[in-house]
Amino acid sequence: MKFAKNLVFSLFMPVVSSSLLAAPTNVPPLEASNYQNIPKTAEVSTYLRKIADVSREASVINVGTSAGGRPITAILLSNDKHFLQGKPGKRDTMTVMLNASQHGSESSGGEALQVVANEILQDPHHYLDHTNFILIPISNPDGRDGNKRRNDNGVNLSTDYILLSQPETQAMSNLIHKMQPDVMLDIHESSLLKKSTLGAEGYLTDFEAQWEYANDPNINAKLQAFTREEFLPALLIKTNNDGVRASHYIGEITSTKQEINNGGISLRNLRNFGGQSNALSMLVENRLDLSTGAYPTPRNIKERVRKQVVCIDSFIELAAQHRPTILELVENARRSPTKTVYLDTRYVLDEDNPTIEIPLRHIDSGKLEEITYRNATKITAELPLQLPNAYAVTEHQQSIKELLDRHHIAYTEVSTPTDVNAIVQYIAQVRITPTRRGRAKVATVLREEEKEITLKAGALLISMDQADAKLVPLFLDPRSSNSIFQESSNTLLLTKGKAGKDFFIVRVIR
């Protein structure tokens, strides 16, 4: 299907379902306003329910509730009645999860998903014979209704997938855990003008659509290699051929003098969070046009929606073409226990290709100019750690329990004093450097010792014999790039290991 090639025509086509042939399709609220008014969350939810009312292949579920009390709505598309009731799909059917508007001010993705839902149901046998869909057009209702990036708690949801501190990210985590999607896409927009940074140097970025894969080195190696080496290159070609200029994602450019890397490698973002759940997980970031300009619709929203639909269409079609391979890779990844994790993951200079040319548009002249940057797009993985039998938590049990519960990681509580052999860490030195966006750069000097210790009643034991075991060291080892101690709200917990006192999380070896 070519969703975007005849957008207006397609929105007025009848829904073709097994139950109601030629039922009238409801016009999305954005189009109903002639693309003049961005609809509120409630209007979008109402529209999704209208779609579901005229098709047996669709149902609407409430995924959760936002910090501001607004419902988070998803539409499910499937031939499987059990899936439509919010149950996992059959293993020979691919489940695709599409998520938009984590940043509430990025509106085109959510609008595009309404179009995509409508289009899939017009020809259900094209996809629904072998694919289930979960579409969440607005995953940040507070941001959408307030035209702001964050939720009503002031939190950037797109970087909250380690702590899962917000009801919105907890809802997404629960949905992923329950429905086990095989394929995920996180849909974003990025403004051309960074007024206070790159714009102050006289430049705009010139990206139209950027794609990134789940690139954290602790994601299943075979699934990641397929996504990076086969799926991503094919997706770039397809998106370009379908009419939207696409490239591999370049991280935020705020200066002509910075280093360049690709998308973030932290599990804080949904793309990598989805990858660690063993889904083929990607992000698309389309251009958010300038707030001023001679556009036929406000901020060029009609054209932005069209381009987002093209990108989503390209992604869905390519995933369908590779369905057998994806299902096999995902199934193998979920059956393969992780034995080793890498605690230190980061970008470094690519010595084989030390520079990279990025075209930027000069604000005054409007001309493109190639800017030479240091190329730090190489990902390194260091500090390998073999998983022990278990981890034990001897202090701060309540806060750690809450984190484990949010991530569906099982644990037991010690009822009577228990002797175990453990590797105990002593934190000799901690250097905490605050950074922007609620994080801190934490550097520790550690000493480790193997010895027998007694776990007191109330200590937590976390077995490594479970699906998400690798998250435990990644989140709880103070040396990890993904540790909870990199978050400003938790850095002070590291001081509990000072002055010769052993750290409160230990590796149990027997």
pLDDT tens, residue by residue, 187-197:
999 998 888 99
pLDDT tens, residue by residue, 178-215:
999 999 999 999 998 888 999 999 999 999 999 999 99
Read off the CATH number of the domain in which 171 is found: 3.40.630.10
Residue type, 289: D
The pLDDT-based confidence of 290 (bands split at 50, 70, 90) is confident
The pLDDT-based confidence of 495 (bands split at 50, 70, 90) is low
H or E, element range at 304: helix 301-321
**Final residue before a domain boundary, out of 351, 381, 411:** 381
Tokens of 84: 């439509």
Residue type, 16: V
54 and 106, same domain (yes or no): yes
109 and 207, same domain (yes or no): yes
The whole-number average pLDDT for the span 395-423 is 97
- Distance (Å, whole) CA 347 – CA 349: 7
282 and 372, same domain (yes or no): no
150 and 235, same domain (yes or no): yes
192 and 316, same domain (yes or no): yes
| Residues spanned by the domain of 486 | 387-508
- Distance (Å, whole) CA 316 – CA 131: 10
Q: Are strands 131-136 and 94-100 parallel, antiparallel or unpaired?
A: parallel
325 and 400, same domain (yes or no): no
346 and 332, same domain (yes or no): no
433 and 301, same domain (yes or no): no
What phi, psi does 27 have (nearest 5°)? Answer: -80, 130
3-state secondary structure of 282: strand
> Residue 10's pLDDT is what?
30
Mean pLDDT of the residues in the chain: 92
**What's the predicted TM-score (pTM) here?**
0.93
227 and 294, same domain (yes or no): yes
**Final residue before a domain boundary, out of 381, 403, 437:** 381
Q: Scanning the structure block, which residue is given the tokens 């995933």?
A: 319
Cβ neighbors of 451 (< 8 A, separation 6 or more) are: 421, 422, 424
Q: What would the DSSP string read from start to end of 102-169?
A: SSTT--HHHHHHHHHHHHHHHSHHHHTTTEEEEEES-S-HHHHHHT-SS-TTS--GGG-TTT--SHHH
pLDDT at 159 over 90: yes
What phi, psi does 299 have (nearest 5°)? Answer: 50, 30
pLDDT at 1 over 60: no
150 and 22, same domain (yes or no): yes
- Distance (Å, whole) CA 447 – CA 250: 38
* Among the listed residues 269, 86, 278, 283, the one whose alpha carbon sits nearest the alpha carbon of residue 174: 86
367 and 400, same domain (yes or no): no
H or E, element range at 344: strand 340-348
Q: How many domains does the chain have?
A: 3
Strand order of the β-sheet with 280-288 is 58-65, 71-77, 131-136, 94-100, 183-191, 280-288, 209-213, 246-248
The whole-number average pLDDT for the span 163-171 is 98
The strand ranges marked E within 259-339 are 259-260, 280-288
- Contact status, residue 452 vs residue 419, Cβ threshold 8 Å: yes
**Final residue before a domain boundary, out of 349, 381, 413:** 381
The pLDDT-based confidence of 501 (bands split at 50, 70, 90) is low
3-state secondary structure of 360: strand
Distances in whole angstroms, Cα of residue 348 to Cα of each of 259, 344, 351, 440: 10, 12, 9, 19
- Distance (Å, whole) CA 319 – CA 330: 13
106 and 183, same domain (yes or no): yes
